[in-house]
A = this chain, B = another copy of it.
Amino acid sequence: MAQAESEMKMRILFAAKKLFARQGFDGTSVRQICEEAGANVALISYYFGGKEKVYRALFECFFPGQRMSQYEDLLKSPVEGLKLLISEIISFSMNDKELSSIIQQEMVMVSPRTELIVSFTGPVWKKARELLEQGREQSLFHFDSLDQALMMVVGVTLAHKKQNCYSGLLTDGPPKREETVESAVRFVLLALGADTAGTAPS
């Protein structure tokens, strides 16, 4: 069932991911999805049971959930843990630009899908919050409000998603993954007052 999961089903999922990312959930019709996938309209009902269910399936299929548990040791150090978290989130986000766009769309709306998004992404940011808190207790980080600090970290980590929109303002080409990760990590650590000798730019 997990193996020969009907290639057609996957084709539909890939098509839906692509179209939802560009046009949003409401801006995409099941007919469009099926055309893109080379599938018949009826297959959406047959395989998933409706458009909303396709959306859910997207997350169950493509959202990397178990990755964090591999790094339990690193996540005990506030500085290293936060570095790792930012790096992993940006990597995921640049590897699967479509899914991350879908996530960001719902983050600014009030929709029946918001809850789903939060259930998948919330745990990751919860971990980030814990690391910030521990780092402050250990005097590794310096900030006033934990809430505010967390939101800043979220903002920096997801900042690169706006590059498509404002590409007209940028002079370098599309940035490499490593460059984006490094910039974000350094920006956050500097802002948090973490001592990270040797990482300051010239």
| Residues of A bordering B, CB below 8 Å | 21-27, 101, 104-111, 114, 117-118, 122, 125-126, 129, 142-152, 154-166, 168-172, 175, 179-180, 183-184, 186-188, 190-193, 200-202
Contact = CB atoms under 8 A, between A and B. Distances in A.
Contacts of A118: 165-166, 168
B151 A22 contact: no
B23 A24 contact: no
Contacts of A105: 24, 105, 108-109
B110 A144 contact: no
Nearest to A165: B107
Contact of A109 (B24, B148, B200): B24
Nearest to A173: B147
B193 A126 contact: no
Contacts of A191: 186-188, 190-191
B142 A107 contact: no
B154 A162 contact: yes
A53 B51 CA distance: 29
Contacts of A122: 166, 168-169
Contact of A27 (B26, B159, B175): B26
Nearest to A156: B155
Contacts of A155: 155-160, 162
Contacts of A164: 108, 110
A147 B159 contact: no
B165 A159 contact: no
A191 to B, nearest CB: 4
B151 A162 contact: yes
B179 A145 contact: yes
A104 B108 contact: yes
A80 to B, nearest CB: 19
A159 B154 contact: yes
